[in-house]
A and B are shown apart, each in its own frame.
Chain A
Amino acid sequence: MELRKVALLTLIVAVLSYGAALAGGWQYSGVGARAKAMGGAYRGIADDGIGAYYNPAGLAFLQQNIFNLTGEVSSPRPTVTPDFKANGYGFGYLDGQKRYTKDNSYLMGEASLFFRPTKDNNFVFGLAFFQGYDQNTTMNLYQLSPAYNSKIQISDVNHRSNFDVITWQPTAAMKFSHDRVAIGVGLQINRGDILVDQVRLVDNPYPYPLNVRPYDKFAELYSVDGYGFGVGANVGVQFKVSPKVTIGANYVSASKIKMTGDSKERIYLPFNDGFAHLYMDPQANAYQREVDSTFKGALIGNIGEFEVEMKLPSEFGVGFAYHPNEKTIVSADLVYTRWSEFEDFQIKFKNRMANQKYIAHWDAMFTDVTVPFQWKDKIKISVGLEKILNERWTYRGGYMFDQSPIPDETFNQLFLDTGTKHHFNAGAGFKLNERVSFDAALELVVYSSRTISTLADVNNDGYWDNFGGEFKNLSFNSTWALNYRF
């Protein structure tokens, strides 16, 4: 009976893992309904299945075997008002218009299953599955300039970023020293997904007068869609200083994920009948005919494959939990994330197939993509409160202060972490019986807005790396969990 139950729950975790891989989010504010309701101040607690995310050591204090199933609904509300200009000159971005993401809500899932196999219950092992990173926006921010006069309209999905990292974390924990000290180790198997559509402005390689604005920059829409895997580790320790005070710490290693997939590169060429007139002459040479073809408003491009490496940052967190009485927990965490390890995306295209390669400048126009980050190491501070009201109900509240690591020079619509975030959390737990309980958490994330007024090319590759405009964001999240103890 016990074996069948284990098999069934394992199957559920596996199925959920697969399903949630289709969801989206960037470093998510936390996982688990109980932990999120407490603002993520959980490293001194972490004594349930999803605690494996915060501090694997906390699992050593499980009271029973546990299966946890969590669903999250995330509703980010970003607003982008492009002002993409250099020295006052625009390029076709929808300057001055408020633009919203096309998607409204995203579903995510988490699950965990942990056992205490030994008679002394000092050792715990199992599997946690969660999605720690998510960024997901789809926006129409660009329109080919009317003066560009292209016969082909650019797709209205011209700025999309969907980055996910989901993690399977087999974890083991044990306690010793008369249950005062616990350590935990988790192996993180990370799957990263990348889906990007983005306009970038390619220098027109032709000389004057063929390169006069608005033809000095050609609009390129590149798309990549792929995934890959990487590994990392999450290790933690907990120490019960006294019956009322527990301190905990964990370290998540950096993890490099090599992603591959399909790519498309499209350049929208302008239509200029003036230039076309130049080459109506039957005596036109090959170059003139090429120019004539180039300025006919065609869509040229490659389809192929790509590869890119994404390095998730390492993270170190400490926290404490204070139990002033049996019904109350006050907690606080401090997390230091080494975002400086989040390496530039070097998107390398390969196995390209061109649709019509008549342009001598083709290779100069279609280049690999570098997305520089130069992010800064940042901290998160969170505090939480849990109050058991009666044998069925528990109330929780929390707050998190979370800095944006992105400097103005590389801030763009790919990652809309506009500024310092204030997370306000509240939630409740309901205990149905000794085996089944439910947790819920609601979260409001208030972002500081950001205005980018100067375009920057931090790596001097000829492409602007940030995105001019005003950025605002607000996010509503709800988390719902079922816990089954056995």
Chain B
Amino acid sequence: MKSVYRIIGMSMLAIITLSIGCVKRDNPAVPETPPAGLVAWFTHQYDGLTGTNSIWNRYPSRRVAVYTPPGYDFEKVGPRYPTLYLLPGFDGEPSFNFEYGNETYYLAASVAKVADRLIASGEIKPLFIVMPDAAIPYGGSFYANSTLAGKWEDMMSVELVHKIDTLTTTETRTGSGLRTLAAKESRAIGGHSSGGYGAIRIAMDNDSLFNSVSAIDAPLALTGIQELFGAYLNESGITTEEQYQATDTAGFRAKPYKILIYSMAATFSPAPKTGSKLGNLQISLPFDYHDNLVDSIWSKWMANDMYSWLNNATYKSALANQNLYFETSDHDVNMFNQQTRLFEQKLTSLGINYQSATFSIYAGANAQSRTFLYDRLEYILKFHNKYLRDRDGKY
């Protein structure tokens, strides 16, 4: 009889153990993709590009991408939304086509995903995000007014904002215009790299347009750019005056420092046409082939230095009246991160409030600060969300 009990006891123990071991555990559902907004493209012929230099501007008609929040219906009357103007930086690589703003296309495809997720989770309010193409044939416009490359500052501020607020059905190709909240309190501007420079510049020059401003690794203290002049000379193998004058845009796509410096020169120091190849581009560089500063040219660049602009009471006041946010990385090939930090220090010394964050990148073959733009946009959107007024008057 005892044997029976033992068999029963052992069997029950085995069954209990096996039962526990075999209980099915269901995996939680994989998160669903949040409702998607739409990126609409429209083309605008900017007034500021008409009649500009043919070398530096071949396309007066430029594309603008606009993110519209999930559920936004162009056809129906509905709520109005605040707007963030997100200015792309520029950069490229061999064989890439600079005549279209590369980063604009990246932002248009990627920012939408960040915004979709944050809107779905309630972390930001629904908004429009406007991403203009401000590229020029050999780089980027720096969002400043130039006789060569175009009046980009004017175009990206008053002209574009007006255009967005009055966009018509036909232009969006999607059936209706944008229902924006056309007020400073419902507008924000930000940008990456030269786009960050543009955002700060436009905000300082137009304090009635935007309520918050942000910049990621932007060249805001131009003295830092001097460190790249030597890199340009090395990159192009320039050791003589003849070589210096004989350089043009040939092979520029493989030369990132040439792209950067020529773009800045086209914007900040246009020059009359001369006989040399460099002169034919109608730009002048603020350094000679020995890497010595040419003061007369450098002073033109410094006239576009945001760090210096803070010495001007009007600009200082304009910036002090806006909500500011800066992001700096720990690895920026152009060292714009250091320039942004210098700018922050100046703001601190002037008693101007701002918010800031730093970010580290992970090591990798191609990793540098711009690789992480997608991730940092989450913080940019969250910042601006705090200062964008919605249709109910709430921030």
Contacts and interface: CB of A to CB of B under 8 A. Distances in A.
Contacts of A97: 28, 30-31
Given A146-B117, A212-B371, A203 B365 contact: yes
A87 interface: yes
Interface stretch (B16-24, B161-169, B276-284): B16-24
B30 A140 contact: yes
B294 interface: no
A269 to B, nearest CB: 14
Given A105-B22, A212-B370, A442 B113 contact: no
A73 B17 CA distance: 11
B367 A216 contact: yes
B91 A208 contact: yes
Contacts of A426: 13
Nearest to B28: A97
Contacts of B41: 277
Interface string B20-44: 1111111110110110000101000
Contacts of B105: 209, 272, 274-275, 277-278
A147 B113 contact: yes
B116 A146 contact: yes
Contact of B365 (A102, A156, A462): A462
Interface stretch (B122-130, B314-322, B372-380): B372-380
B59 to A, nearest CB: 12
B22 A75 contact: yes
Contacts of A94: 30-31
B103 A209 contact: yes
B371 A211 contact: yes
A100 B28 CA distance: 9
A236 to B, nearest CB: 31
A478 interface: yes
Most chain B CB atoms below 10 A, which of A146, A274, A430: A274
A75 B373 CA distance: 45
Contacts of B97: 278, 281, 288
A430 B8 CA distance: 13
Interface stretch (B261-269, B347-355, B356-364): B356-364
Contacts of B92: 208-209
Contacts, number: 149
B100 interface: yes
B271 interface: no
Contacts of B91: 208-209
Interface residues of A, number: 56
A84 to B, nearest CB: 12
Given A146-B113, A213-B373, A273-B109, A99 B17 contact: no
A275 B65 CA distance: 13
Interface string B83-107: 0000000011111110010111111
Contact of B21 (A75, A274, A288): A75
Contact of A212 (B22, B28, B104, B374): B374
Contact of A392 (B3, B114, B375): B3
B108 interface: yes
B76 interface: no
A207 B362 CA distance: 17
A476 B31 CA distance: 31
B6 interface: yes
B366 A211 contact: yes
B14 interface: yes
Interface in A376-431: 392-393, 426, 428, 430
A213 B27 contact: no
Contact of B364 (A102, A143, A203, A393): A203
B231 interface: no
Nearest to A203: B365
A318 B142 CA distance: 76
B208 interface: no
Nearest to B90: A209
Contacts of A442: 13-14, 17
B303 interface: no
A354 interface: no
B33 A98 contact: no
B110 A207 contact: no
Given A104-B23, A272-B109, A274-B39, 15 more contacts: A86-B362, A104-B24, A143-B30, A204-B366, A207-B93, A208-B93, A210-B93, A211-B366, A212-B373, A274-B109, A275-B106, A278-B97, A428-B10, A462-B364, A477-B21
Interface of A: 73, 75, 77, 86-87, 89, 94, 97-100, 102, 104-105, 140, 143, 145-147, 149, 156, 203-204, 207-214, 216, 272-275, 277-278, 281, 285, 287-288, 392-393, 426, 428, 430, 440, 442, 444, 455, 462, 475-478
